[in-house]
Amino acid sequence: MNLSGKRIVVGITGGIAAYKTIEFIRLLRKAEAEVRVVLTPAAAEFVTPLTLQAISGNAVSQSLLDPQAELAMGHIELAKWADAVVIAPASADFIARFTVGMANDLLSTLCLATASPIFLASAMNRQMFAQPITQQNLTALQARGVQLVGPNSGFQACGDVGTGRMSEPMEIFTVLSDFFSQNQDLQGLNVVITAGPTREPIDPVRYISNHSSGKMGFAIAESFAKCGATVSLIAGPVSLNTPKNVNRINVISAQEMWQVSLESAVKNHIFIGCAAVADYRVANVSEQKIKKSSDEISLKLIKNPDIIADVGHLTEHRPFTVGFAAETQNVADYAKDKLQRKNLDMICANDVSGGQVFNADENALQLFWKGGNKILALKSKKDLAADLVNEIVEQYKKTR
Ligand code: PMT
C-alpha cells in the first residue's frame, strides 16, 4: 500500500465535520499508516480525545507546551516526525491564522515548523467559504505549496446548501494515497526541462511566437521536484509561478534557449524538451520600429537551431533525452519520425488538432520509445505529468 508505514499527523480544528475525520483516520490505519492526532481546543468540543486515541492508536496532542513531549516541544517533535500533515476539517479561523503565520496553538505552530507536505480539507458555512478574504487566504496557502482538498457542495449542518462541506473521508484518503504513489525516490537525479514558447523579434516592439502557456512543462518540473529530483526549468516567456524547489532560468528567444539548454544538458541525467520552440526567426531584425509605409511587407525567416536534436546527438555526457511532438495530423507517424531523426530516447506525441492542448488545463499523450509505446489518457496536465514522470524514470532506469 502507498501509505504503509507513512507517518501522518492529522490536525482537527473546530467544526461539525470533525466527526468524519474519525473515518478518515480509520482508513489511514487500515492502510497501515501511523497516525498522530492534534486537536485544537475548539475541535475537542466536537470529538473526544478518547475516541481519537482509540482509533489512531496513539495519544492525542492538544497542548503547545506539553510536559509529556520530548524536551516539552511537541510541535517540533511532531513537525519532524510527520511525512505529511492533513488538516481536516480546516476551519475559516484556522485557515486565516495559518495564512498569516500565527503560532498560537499546537497545530498552527507545527504547520509552521514542518518541512513536510501539508494537505488542507476546509469545511465551513458556504457564506464564510465564499468570502473574498477566505478565498484570498486559500489562494495564498496554495501558492505556498499547501494542497487543498475540496470542499464539496451540498447540504450543510447549518441548514444552508452550497459549497463548504468537507470532502468525504475516502476523497481525502485518495488524494493522500495518490501523493505517496508517486515515485518518491528521485533524490540524486538531475533533470532539466524546457517549457513555454520562444519569441522571435521582428523589431523592438513586435515578435513571432505561439500559444504555448508553459503549463505542461511546468507541471512536469513540479512533478519531478515533488519526487525529490533536482530540477532546472528553462522557461520561455510565460506568466506562471515557479513550482516549489525548481530552479528556473528565463529565456526569450530560441537561440537563448538553445545556449542555456546545451550548457545544462551535459550536467543533467534527463533532458525534456517540452517547449514550443519557434522553428524560424527573422533574418534581419529591424533596429527601429517598422513603419506602416507600404501595403505589404515581407519577412525573411531563417531556421533556428533544433535544440532537442542537438542534445540528442551529443557524443559526450548525453542525457536521456525526451522530446515532444505537437502535431495536427499523422500524429503517431510524425512523432516516431522525430524520435528517430532527432536521436531521442522517448517522444511524447501530442495531438494539437482543433486548438486543443496549447494553453489548456488538460492533455493526453502517446509515448513512443525504441521497442515500446504507451497511451496516457486525457487528464489534468498536473496529473498527466505525474504519470509521465513515472514512465520517463522507468525507461531511463533501463538505460543505466
Ligand atoms: O505549454 P502548454 O500550453 O501547456 O502546451 C504544451 C505543448 C503543446 C507546448 C507541449 O505539450 C508540446 O507538445 N511541446 C512541443 C511543441 C513543439 O514545438 O513540438 P514540435 O513537434 O514542433 O517539436 C518537436 C520537438 O522538438 C519538441 O520537443 C520541441 O521542444 C523540439 N524543438 C523544436 C524546434 C526547435 N527549434 N528546437 C527544438 O528543440
Instruction: Flag whether pLDDT at 215 surpasses 90.
Output: yes
Cell numbers found for residue 135: 478565498
CA geometry: angle 356, 358, 364, nearest 5 deg = 60
Is the minimum distance from the CB of 213 to ligand 1 under 6 angstroms? yes
Cell numbers standing for residue 105:
496553538
Q: What is residue 73's predicted lDDT score, i.e. its pLDDT?
A: 53
Residue of 324, 340, 382 to test ligand 1 pocket, by largest number of atoms within 8 Å of CB: 324
Confidence of residue 183 (pLDDT cuts 50, 70, 90): low
* pLDDT at residue 393 in the model: 94
More confident residue, 178 or 247: 247
pLDDT higher than 60, residue 304: yes
Per the CB < 8 A criterion, the answer to whether 195 and 233 are in contact is yes
pLDDT score for 46 = 93
User: Of residues 145 and 360, which shows the higher confidence score?
Assistant: 360
Give yes or no for residue 324 CB within 6 A of ligand 1. Answer: yes
The fold adopted by the segment(s) 7-182 is Rossmann fold (3.40.50)
pLDDT surpassing 80 at residue 193: yes
Residue 269: strand, helix, or coil: coil
User: Whose CA is closest to atom 8 on ligand 1?
Assistant: 358
* Phi, then psi, of 364 in degrees rounded to 5: -135, 150
Cα gap 110→113, rounded to integer Å = 5
Lowest mean pLDDT among 2-11, 71-80, 141-150, 373-382: 71-80
Q: Which three cell numbers, joined as nine digits, stand for 353?
A: 488538432
In the reported structure, the alpha carbon of residue 20 is separated from the centroid of ligand 1 by a whole-number distance in angstroms of: 46
* In the predicted structure, residue 182 carries a pLDDT above the cut 80: no
Q: State the Cα–Cα distance between residues 78 and 317, nearest whole angstrom.
A: 43
Secondary structure of residue 352 in the 3-state scheme = coil
- pLDDT tier at 228, thresholds 50, 70, 90: confident
Band (pLDDT 50/70/90 cuts) for residue 173 is: very high
Q: Report pLDDT for 296.
A: 94
Q: Where in the chain is the domain with CATH 3.40.50.10300?
A: 190-399
- For 6-65, what is each residue's pLDDT tens digit? 999 999 999 999 999 999 999 999 999 999 999 999 999 999 999 999 999 999 988 877
Q: How confident is the model at residue 142 (pLDDT cuts 50, 70, 90)?
A: confident
- 190-399: what CATH class? alpha beta
Q: Does residue 158 carry a catalytic annotation?
A: yes
- pLDDT, average across residues 165-174: 96
| Entry pTM | 0.65
Q: Distance (Å, rounded) from C-alpha 137 to C-alpha 133?
A: 6
Q: Is the CB of 338 within 6 Å of ligand 1?
A: yes
Is residue 254 a contact partner of residue 200, using CB atoms and an 8 Å limit?
Answer: yes
Strands (DSSP E) along the chain, which ranges?
Answer: 7-12, 34-39, 84-90, 118-122, 147-149, 152-155, 161-165, 190-195, 200-203, 206-208, 230-235, 246-250, 270-273, 280-282, 301-303, 320-327, 346-351, 362-369, 372-380
Number of H helices, E strands in the chain: 13, 19
Closest CA to 160 of 137, 130, 135: 130
Ligand 1 proximity of 254 Cβ (cutoff 6 Å): yes
Task: Give, for ligand 1, the residue of 301, 308, 311, 343 to mutate: max count of ligand atoms closer than 8 Å to Cβ.
Answer: 308
Q: Is the model's pLDDT at 290 over the cut of 60?
A: yes
Enumerate the CATH 3.40.50.1950 domain ranges in the chain, comma separated. Answer: 7-182
pLDDT at 179: 84
- Counting atoms of ligand 1 from 1, which one is nearest the CA of 196? 1
Inter-residue contact 81 to 7 (CB < 8 Å):
yes
Give me the torsion for CA of 378, 380, 385, 387, rounded to 10°: -50
Summarised one tens digit per residue, pLDDT across range 64-123 is: 776 666 555 566 788 889 999 999 999 999 999 999 999 888 899 999 999 889 999 999
d(CA 227, CA 247): 15
Residue 283 has pLDDT above 90, yes or no: yes
To the nearest whole number, what is the mean pLDDT of the chain? 93
Q: Is 219 in the pocket of ligand 1 (CB under 6 A)?
A: no
